[in-house]
Amino acid sequence: MREDDVSYETNTAVPAAQNRPGAPVGVRRLKEPMVAPLKTRIFTVANQKGGVGKTTTAVNLAAALSMGGLKVLVVDLDPQGNASTAFGLDRDNLAGIYDVLINDLPMSECVVKVANFPHLEAVAANSDLAGAEIQLVPAVAREFRLQTALQSFLAAKQNAGQRFDYVFIDCPPSLGLLTINALTAADEVLVPIQCEYYSLEGLSLLLETLGEVQKRLNQKITLTTIVLTMFDGRTRLANDVADNVKKHFPDELINTPIPRAVRISEAPSFGQTVMTYDAASPGAIAYLAVAREISNRGGAPINIKNESA
């Protein structure tokens, strides 16, 4: 992905000269639109190991695909609410995914538009979500709460001629009921892997859980996409991890790794993704390249049983 693939349309309230890191920005788009899928692709972004760039990957890929002209929905299923923060949402004053899962509120009443992205919408995670794991335990059809609400919402949008191209469900760093709900609701799993040894161990545990979900709850769920994050090509460890992942998951691994980059880390403190914070930065350009690769290819399912053995 080249920097000159990005062009800008600024709204009247934000002059083009203000397109600098941390400043408010207008609408951003790509010169070459991204390929729209034949049907809505629903991704669960999961890794039970914390700090691997899971939320960062979810929000920046969603933003990048939206810049490519695709209509994207992000469901923040992490009680920490970091995806909501990255989109600048006042999550504690919004109806959110907790109300959908526990209070049966229609998802249509929780979806909000993300500022500066005309094709990007989100469902926030408010602080009440922290108690949802316990409250879901005695609930009827507890593993299917998100699937039921999401499918109803997407069907209504489809019937109204407003189909979403992509849905990203950002999971908490655990394999509890919230993550099980996400795996049951999705068709594909996207796993961000930090380039260190412990992340590979986390992937093995996730594959075991994914295999159980395939057998008992959602036969169509498959691991289709792996993204390497916090990659530093100068270190032997990062290259060893990349080679190991490529050896075992050649079809699932995205070709472009996400580098360690200050701009990516800074952006959430301004309530932004790196796409609006600094679209010319190496991190933003890497996420644009990953988004375009995802849009250009479908995922090849893997044999969960064999890979987790």
Q: Which residue has the tokens 């788009």?
A: 29
| pLDDT score for 16 | 33
| CATH superfamily of domain region 35-308 | P-loop containing nucleotide triphosphate hydrolases (3.40.50.300)
Q: Mean pLDDT, 10 residues at a time, over the chain (309 residues)?
A: 46 35 54 88 89 90 95 96 93 91 96 92 91 91 96 96 96 90 96 80 84 94 93 83 88 92 89 90 94 79 42
pTM of the model: 0.88
Q: Are 69 and 165 spatial neighbours (Cβ–Cβ below 8 Å)?
A: no
CA distances from 22 to 41, 85, 238 (A): 31, 15, 30
Nearest to 59, CA basis, from 80, 45, 39: 45
CA gap 200, 304 in Å, rounded = 15
**What would the two tokens of residue 261 be?**
């980059």
Using DSSP bridges, classify how beta strands 188-194 and 41-45 pair: parallel, antiparallel or unpaired.
parallel
| pLDDT score for 5 | 57
| pLDDT score for 307 | 43
CA gap 187, 191 in Å, rounded = 13
Q: Are 185 and 154 spatial neighbours (Cβ–Cβ below 8 Å)?
A: no
| pLDDT score for 298 | 56
What is the dihedral angle through the alpha carbons of 251, 65, 77, 272, rounded to the nearest 10 degrees?
130
| pLDDT score for 28 | 60
| pLDDT score for 308 | 37
**What would the two tokens of residue 5 be?**
């693939």
Nearest to 264, CA basis, from 217, 219, 222, 227: 227
Q: Which residue has the tokens 């994207």?
A: 72
| SS3 (DSSP) at 137 | coil
Domain boundaries, the chain: 35-308
Distance of CA 264 to the CA centre of its chain: 15
Q: Are 175 and 48 spatial neighbours (Cβ–Cβ below 8 Å)?
A: yes
CA gap 99, 68 in Å, rounded = 31
Residues in CB range of 274: below 8 A, 6 or more apart? 60, 261, 263, 264, 267, 281, 283, 284, 287
Q: Which residue has the tokens 């469902």?
A: 123
